[in-house]
Structure 1
Amino acid sequence: MASTQITPTRMELTKTKRKLVTAVKGHKLLKDKRDELMRQFLELVKENMELRLKVEAGIKAANQNFVIAKAGMDEVTLRTAFMAPKQEVNLEVGSKNVMSVNIPAFTTKTRTADANDIYSYGFAFTSGDLDDAVKSLADILPEMLRLAEIEKACQLMAAEIEKTRRRVNALEHVIIPEARRTIKYITMKLDENERSSQIRLMKVKDMMLEEAHKYSERA
């Protein structure tokens, strides 16, 4: 037992009691953190599932439009249409702190503000299906970035939840019980020492009284 290796003194008892108080407070704070992380994690998971369905549906629609456009256009015209893009999207990666977890935050900025610059070709030799495909991809881009942001956030939060859970379990099942056992052990030892001291004092008192009685008889 670990507590038997501790010197049973009042100073050690006070130190262990302070450690127990700190551990109990830390345990409560970590449990609150874990619960709040779980709440936000579940909200993100729900949003992730909904957004993934939306993104997959958008990509599927864009692919269908591209297939139809490719069927109605020759390969050379299709390749030429995308050779000189007008628009450019710059991605900036930041972060925000959520319960001590730094999750990514994506922001985008286009080279121009004109919405029609997503079309890098003239409309004379291309089909409307190609326009629909390009438009659907441009529309789904923000959701794709948000999906990537959420999925990374879920990974980071899941790791933090697991780490917090291990800390809570360590405090709850190891540190706090060990501190309580140590306090009990020291208290018992101090009580034993106090009783032993009282017994010794009583014996000394009896011896002194006996000596005093013998002295008075001789006198």
Structure 2
Amino acid sequence: MAMTQVNPTRMELTRLKKKLVTALRGHKLLKDKRDELMRRFLDLVRFNKELREKVEKGIEEANKKFVLAAAVMNDPALKTALLAPKQSVSVNVSKQNVMSVEIPVFDYQTRTPAENDIYSYGFAFTSGDLDDAVASLNSVFPDMLKLAECEKSCQLMADEIEKTRRRVNALEHVMIPEYQRQIKYITMKLDENERSTQIRLMKVKDMMLKEAIEARRAAEEKGIEVLT
């Protein structure tokens, strides 16, 4: 990569050194953030896997019970029983800040606190298998909501990890090496200028000394006393 041209002055050198210190500090902080995000992300992924298996198993059990209920009851009676539910659910969404990632937090609330309101039908003309199926779905619902919260959190954290990784790579492989190259370039230029100045001063001193020697020699040849 071609190096950006900089003005080789001490002021520019000081400015670049400050920027390099800031970049190194930012690089360390971002690496720590990335590592902590990765740790939490992996824990969340493991929890998500366990929760998904639990939810899928619960839904499978509920489906089996619905199949049994459908086998015992006729189709019109089953549809009529589930046509007008008595219970309703509202979901509240809040946010929690985890390492600058706003992850969702889902909480639900039922319209009525009565547990039997999940049954929208009378028990006289329905099968007990239908009761078991509805109860199974009701019991798995909190885990389904938690699973949705967990999967969305995983997605948001994965996006933040990718952003942080790109910033770390940009600092590590682009900005910090560029600052170091510019600092080295300016340092070499300043050292070169200082050596050139010293050489010029030595040459001027030699010229002045040579002129003084020649002037003294000329004065001595003319018999003029020269004060030392």
TM over 0.5: yes
**Count of matched residue positions in the alignment of Structure 1 and Structure 2:** 219
- The answer to whether 1:26 aligns with 2:26 is yes
Distance in 2, matches of 1:116 and 1:190, equals: 85
Matched with 1:204 is 204
Q: What is the CA RMSD across the aligned residues, in angstroms?
A: 1.2
Distance in 2, matches of 1:172 and 1:3, equals: 16
Distance in 2, matches of 1:65 and 1:5, equals: 75
- The answer to whether 1:74 aligns with 2:53 is no
> Which segments of 5 or more consecutive residues in structure 2 lack a partner in the other structure?
220-228
Alignment of 1:92-171 (within 5 A): 92-171=92-171
Distance in 2, matches of 1:212 and 1:3, equals: 48
Q: Which moved more, 1:1-10 or 1:47-56?
A: 1-10
Distance in 2, matches of 1:186 and 1:142, equals: 64
Report the alpha carbon displacement of residue 193 of structure 1 after superposing the two structures with TM: 0.2
1:100-159 deviation line (CA, Å, top 9, x unaligned): 111111111110111111111111111111011101101101100111111111111111
Compute the TM-score of the two structures, normalised by the length of structure 1. Answer: 0.97
SS at match of 1:86: coil
Please say if residues 4 and 185 of structure 1, whose CA atoms lie closer than 8 Å, have aligned partners that are also in contact. no
* Identity within the alignment, %: 70
> Which segments of 5 or more consecutive residues in structure 1 lack a partner in the other structure?
none
1:45-67 deviation line (CA, Å, top 9, x unaligned): 00010000000000000000000
- The answer to whether 1:172 aligns with 2:168 is no
Distance in 1, matches of 2:54 and 2:128, equals: 23
Please say if residues 55 and 143 of structure 1, whose CA atoms lie closer than 8 Å, have aligned partners that are also in contact. yes
Q: Which moved more, 1:132-141 or 1:207-216?
A: 207-216
Q: Which moved more, 1:125-134 or 1:208-217?
A: 208-217
SS at match of 2:36: helix
